Amino acid sequence: MVVEYILIFIGAAVPWFEIGLVIPLGILRGLSPFWVMLLAFFGNVSTVVALIIGFDKFKLWYTKRQKKKEASSAKRKERAKRIWNKYGLPGLAFLGPIVLGIHIAAFIGMSLGASKYWTILWMTISLLLWTLFFGIVTMLGFDFVTNRW
């Protein structure tokens, strides 16, 4: 069972898996919702904070990598820029996990000039709220389904 909790932490840390997928799967698997939510939060926030702190090196690597994927990522960048212009860093942080992915949202926020401190703060708050949302909704939904049958 410890291995499953380790996989929750790792899965949440991986971009595009993140908390929106890992939390419901862990809870539906029968793991403790508290530990799933806690480990998923810390797994996801650890890589986001690492990305923000190492932004300059990551930006260089990411820019080289993105030249290959320029066409497909243009839509994401445009959507992120619209969110940024309308809602700023807090909006990007809160909409990022469901629209773009938290890692891309953090990267875009930093690219658009947000400070590391504010980016870490808003991304952490966003991840905390989304962790609670996904965990509670999954638990309530799962209880609803199991109580109906």
- pLDDT tens column, 53-106: 998 887 788 777 767 666 556 777 777 778 878 888 999 899 888 888 889 899
Range of the structural domain that residue 56 is part of = 2-148
DSSP strand E in 66-134: where? none
**Structural domains counted in the chain:** 1
Looking at the chain, the whole-number percentage of residues with pLDDT higher than 90 is 48
- Mean pLDDT within 122-143: 91
List the one residue out of 74, 105, 78 whose CA is nearest residue 90: 105
Given a contact cutoff of 8 angstroms between Cβ atoms, the answer to whether 59 and 103 are in contact is no
| pTM for the predicted model, two decimal places | 0.76
Q: What is the pLDDT of residue 42?
A: 96
What gap in Å lies between CA 8 and CA 4, rounded to an integer? 6
